[in-house]
Structure formats: C-alpha cells, structure tokens
Amino acid sequence: MKASDKDVLTTQLYFNAAFPALRVPLEEDPKQVKAFEKINAVVEFRAADDEHPLACYIVFLTEDMASKTLEGKRFKVYQGEYPGYITMADESKFEGLTVTKLYFKSIKSLLGVFKGNTPLDMLGIVAPLLKNIFKPATLKFIFLMLTLMKTMPNNVPGVDEPWEQYLKVKLSLYLITRALSTANKLGWPVMAEWTAKQPDRTYLFHVGATLDKDGNELYPEIFANLRVKNGKSKAGKKNVKYPFVLFDFPTPDDCIAVLSDRYSFVESVARGCVKVIGAGDSYAVQFNSIMTVCQNLLVPDKLVKE
C-alpha cells in the first residue's frame, strides 16, 4: 500500500526530529540515565511501503563502548536500515550489538503507534513488540519513547511540577526546531517557500531558568534556534548573538502557555508570556503560524490546532 506524501513526511519528521530529541531525557532524566547506563543495543524501525519504504535505527551504547567507537557517542540516530555493525575507532566493524527490530507492515500502521487517535490505532505495535519482548533494550526504549507524549499540547504540567515543565519545554523546542529544519530539507512547500525568501536569519527561543519558590535555580535556562539562509536551514541548541527574532519566555510556564494553546500567540504577547525582540511582529507571527502547522503533523488529529 502506498502512503500519502503527508504520511511519508510525518514519519520522516519522527525519525529525523523526534527521535534525536530523546537525547534530552537520556542525558537529564535520572530514571532514563539509569535505565540505559548498561545497554549496548540497536533499535531499528522499518515501515513497508510500495513506493517509499522508510527505516531508521538508534544506537545505544555504554560509556565504555562509546569511547571505543569512531564517533564516540552513546546515543545516535541514523537514517536507513541498520547495516549489521557499528564502526569502531580503528575502523573495524563490530557486529555484536543486540537488535530490537520494530518492523511495521505499512507507514500508516507505524504512524498509528506514534500519533494514533484511539487505542485501536496503536495495535500495530503489538506484533513487533511480542517478537522482541525479551531483548534488553525493547521495553526500556518503549518507555523512553513515551516521554515524547510530554510534547503533546494536551500535556500541561503545572507550576507545582517544575521538572515536568522543564522537560516538556526543552523536548518541545528541540523537537520543533529540528522538525522545521528537516521539513525544509525534505522540500515541504510550507517551509521551503518561506526559507527561500530569507537571507541569513536566526530565530531564537529563550526560556528563563526554572526557579523554586525562594528564587533558587532548579533547572537552567533553555535555548533553541533555527537558522535559515536562502532556502537552507539548521537547528541549534545554543544562544546566539543578534538573532533576527528572539522569542523570550520568562519562565517554562509562560512557554507552556503558548505550546499548549492556553492563549493565542498574540494574547500570549499581550499577557507578557513571551516578548518578541528583533524584527517586525509580522515575522514572529508568521514563524509561529508555520511552527503550528508543522506541530499539527506530529499530533493526533483530535489535538490539531486550528
């Protein structure tokens, strides 16, 4: 069965943006750090399709194993099918990693798991899960992947949940900036037409540090950016000097007000949830609108923002 262009794009956004964003809980959530500290494994996704079969694989390594590889990374997402090995520092090929093979009969079946509207939509995970249930990374990865649910607009942690707020905001901003850049590189018209008209410009998000009731820092400030230049784009995670537009959120809760659609973007500005600094307001509103359209590709239809 041939998937629609929209479903192909959405799957590629998950593979290229959502999965790499999992680095945040892997590095900062104590539960996930502990769960993967002794794991050397690969998780591979494949979705069959008559025209556009898609695949990606994720490598998880211990610190010791990662130090012996060519890239030296404990976590890495690769596009395409797993070749059966990872490359070591001496350029030899190591084939001893356990592989969890999450293969789906169609792209639609895979997307049912990622963004299904009902439990029935998510049944596609049952068969691949049962085939891999005893492999060491399988259940750990499923629980890790569930953290992506925190980016959904209906996940709204309150100010009494500072860790949950921090994690939602950081995950969401890393995911959406990378998704926008990925969509542009894949030729998504909405993004490609917008970036084609722009010289070298950086759109920067800044979220103030998470503080306790006494004003002490619990979690650091967050930065995420998207740089565009004559049709090209690149997502980043750092502060930059002189951004074209700065979206400045005083607190994670202020950012969540926008991410969860508590207020419209214009109302959020009026309420002081976000300060727009730099270029004219038209660019900020335009960028926010494109971001919303991109986000809608990644959420269940029932949560789509109009």
Q: What CATH number has the domain bearing residue 290? A: 3.30.1050.10
Number of structural domains the chain divides into: 2
| Domain final position from 151, 180, 209 | 151
| Domain final position from 151, 173, 205 | 151
Closest to 98 measured CA to CA, from 49, 60, 152, 129: 60
Tell whether 79 is covered by a domain.
Answer: yes
Q: What is the mean pLDDT of residues 178-199?
A: 95
Q: What is the mean pLDDT of residues 119-127?
A: 81
Residue with token string 């590189």:
185
Could you read off the pLDDT of 165-178 as tens digits, one per residue?
A: 999 999 999 999 99
Give pLDDT, residue 123: 80
Question: Taking 70 as the threshold, does the pLDDT of residue 280 lie above it?
Answer: no
Tell me how far apart the alpha carbons of residues 64 and 69 are, in angstroms, rounded to a whole number: 9
* Same domain, residue pair 195 and 166: yes
* Same domain, residue pair 166 and 135: no
Tell whether 157 is covered by a domain.
Answer: no
Q: Which residues sit opposite 99 in a β-bridge?
A: 42
* Same domain, residue pair 131 and 182: no
**Mean predicted lDDT score pLDDT of the chain:** 93
Tell whether 249 is covered by a domain.
Answer: yes
* Same domain, residue pair 223 and 118: no
Long-range contacts of 112-119 (CB under 8 A, 24+ apart): 114/10, 114/11, 114/14, 114/18, 114/298, 115/10, 115/298, 115/299, 115/300, 116/300, 117/300, 117/301, 117/302
Could you read off the pLDDT of 73-97 as tens digits, one per residue?
A: 999 999 999 999 999 999 999 999 9
* Same domain, residue pair 28 and 120: yes
Q: What is the mean pLDDT of residues 124-146?
A: 93
DSSP label at residue 102: E
Tell whether 156 is covered by a domain.
Answer: no
- Which helix (H) or strand (E) is 245 found in, with range? strand 245-249
Could you read off the pLDDT of 1-44 as tens digits, one per residue?
A: 789 999 999 999 999 999 999 999 999 999 999 999 999 999 99
pTM of the model: 0.93
* Same domain, residue pair 100 and 31: yes
Angle 152-155-136 from CA coordinates, rounded to 5°: 70
Tell me how far apart the alpha carbons of residues 89 and 98 are, in angstroms, rounded to a whole number: 20
Tell me how far apart the alpha carbons of residues 140 and 25 are, in angstroms, rounded to a whole number: 12
Tell whether 31 is covered by a domain.
Answer: yes
| Domain final position from 151, 183, 205 | 151
* Same domain, residue pair 132 and 183: no
* Same domain, residue pair 104 and 231: no
**Which residue segment(s) compose the domain that 42 sits in?**
5-151
Could you read off the pLDDT of 255-268 as tens digits, one per residue?
A: 999 998 888 888 88
* Same domain, residue pair 272 and 171: yes
* Same domain, residue pair 181 and 96: no
Tell whether 118 is covered by a domain.
Answer: yes
Cα dist. 291→33, 173, 255 in Å?
Answer: 30, 10, 14
Question: Taking 80 as the threshold, does the pLDDT of residue 122 lie above it?
Answer: no
Give pLDDT, residue 304: 77
* Same domain, residue pair 187 and 95: no
* Same domain, residue pair 210 and 268: yes
